[in-house]
Amino acid sequence: MNKNRKSRNFMQLSPGWNAFSNATAALFSLLCVFPFLFVVLISFTDEKTLATNGYRLIPEKWSVGAYSYVFETGDMLLKSYGVTILITVVGTLLSLFMISLYSYAISRKSFKYRRFFSLFAVFTMLFNGGMIPTYIIVTQVLGLKDSLWALIWPLAMNAFYIMILRTFYMTSVPDAIVESGKIDGAGEFKIFYRLVLPLSLPGLATIGLFSTLGYWNDWFNALLYIDDPNKVPLQSMLMRIENSMSFIQQNSANSSISLEVMQSLPQDTARMAMVVLATLPIIFAYPFFQRYFVSGLTIGSVKE
């Protein structure tokens, strides 16, 4: 296969076709990025011009007022950043821990109950109790209302990832390695983290990144479970300021802001500035992780 790819003769592609392909792909790619750029432009618009002109591609008057306002009342943004980072890190580690152990065990042929536990996981993909019973269990039985754990636990496991990782173990961790570990007298756990884990890092990286993205972008769980303004993650905060900036003002520790400053606050542009600030980490990080998502997608859909 590789040999064939190398022998591909590029000269046989007509220049017109190539140009057309380039143009189409470039256009679509631009369309994908454009809304973000547009929001960046809006956030640098002067609030007064915005009120008269609406959102424009080229603002009549530029301003960084929105950003200086956001930084002045910035502790709310920081707090939300903190919450999001915390749940993302803890959640990803936790889910990697649970998923990798679970899928390793059910990938081992020596495990007598592997079929049972595979089914136990797969069944959850097929049939679920739905939003409301889950809500009641999480708040009433587990008592996680208004707790950061309510943002972490519900996303910690996923039967689909388990199946992906199980396939990964079965195909890329040879039995011989495990057997050799046994001969050396190592216990199952030792074999797992000394021999198996290093081999399965690419698979874990993929799952870990999907999980990270899931936590970072989650707002639904916060919508359901979080009332305390100090525990609101980034995405959920953006949702709360959609209607009114009072959420920010109310929860800002900076009490030196005078009524006057608050009254002149750049509401529309500040909102967009928040969106930009909340998106930046993703914008910077995703190109580097892109290939892991690609590999995850290919493992997930075309299991070999």
Partner 1 sequence: MNKGKGRLALIAAMLAIVLVVGACGNNGGNESADGAEETAELIWYTIGTPQKDVTAVMDQVSAYTKEKINATVTMKMIDWGDYQQKMQVNVASGEPMDIIFTSAGGFDYVQNVRKGAFLQIDELLTEYGQGIVDTIDPGFLEGSKVDGHNYGIPANKELPQQEVWRFNQNLLDKYDLDIGKVRSLESLEPLMATIKANEPNVTVFGMDKNHVPYVPYDYLITNLPMAVKLDTDDYKIVNILETDEMKQALATMRKYYQAGYISPEAATVGSTSDLTLSGNWFVDRAQTQPLADNQWSATYGYPVVSTPASDAIITNTSVQGSIMAITANSEYPEKAMEFLNLLNTDPVLRNMVDSGIEGTHYEKIDDNRMRNLPEAKNYDMPSYSLGNNMLLNLNENDPDNKWDVFKEFNAEGVASPILGFNFDSANVSTQMAAIQNVKEQYWSALMTGTVDPDEYLPTALEAFKQAGMDEVITEAQAQLDEWVAEAK
Partner 2 sequence: MAGFLKNVMRNRVMLLMVLPGAAWFFFFSYMPLVGTIAAFKEYRFSRDGFWQSLINSENVGWRNFEFLFSTDAAYIITRNTLLYNIAFILIGLVFAVAMAITLSEIVNKRLAKVYQTGMFLPYFLSWVIVGYFVFSFLSMDKGLLNSILSQFGVSSIQWYNEPQYWPYILILVSLWKMVGYNSVVYLAAIMGIDRSLYEAAMIDGASKWQQIRNITIPLLKPIMIIMTLLAVGKIFYADFGLFYSVPRDSGTLYSVTNVIDTYVYRGLKTTGEIGMSTAAGLYQSVVGFVLVMISNYVVRRIDKDSALF
**Residues engaged in binding partner 1 (CB under 8 A):** 48, 51-52, 113, 116, 135-136, 139-143, 145, 227-229, 243-247, 249-251, 253, 255, 259, 262-265, 267
Considering only 67, 69, 104, 225, the residue that binds partner 2 (CB under 8 A) is: 104
CB under 5 to 8 A by kind: which of partner 2, partner 1, none does 147 bind? none
Region 56-95 residues binding partner 2, contact defined as CB under 8 A: 56-57
**CA atoms of 110 and 108, how far apart (whole Å):** 5
Using rule CB under 8 A, residue 286 touches partner 2: yes
What's the min distance (Å) between Cβ of 113 and partner 2? 6
Using rule CB under 8 A, residue 303 touches partner 2: yes
What's the min distance (Å) between Cβ of 217 and partner 2? 4
The radius of gyration of the chain from alpha carbons, rounded to an integer in Å, stands at: 25
Sort 81 into a burial class: Cβ within 10 Å, 0-12 / 13-18 / 19+: middle
**CA atoms of 90 and 215, how far apart (whole Å):** 10
What's the min distance (Å) between Cβ of 60 and partner 1? 14
Considering only 66, 80, 108, 151, the residue that binds partner 2 (CB under 8 A) is: 108
Residue window 13-52: x/- pattern of binding to partner 2, with contact defined by CB under 8 A: xx--xx--xx-xxx-xxxxxx-xx-xx--x-------x--
Q: Which is nearer to partner 1, 173 or 226 (CB)?
A: 226
The answer to whether the CB of 64 falls within 8 A of the CB of 44 is yes
What's the min distance (Å) between Cβ of 42 and partner 1? 16
Q: Quick one: which H or E segment has residue 297? A: helix 267-301
Which amino acid belongs to residue 8? R
Q: Which is nearer to partner 2, 54 or 174 (CB)?
A: 54
Token digits for 71? 């930084």
What's the min distance (Å) between Cβ of 200 and partner 2? 14
CA angle 24-28-31, nearest 5°?
Answer: 145
Distance set, CA 211 to CA 86, 89, 225 (Å): 13, 10, 20
Token digits for 106? 């059910």
**CA atoms of 57 and 76, how far apart (whole Å):** 29
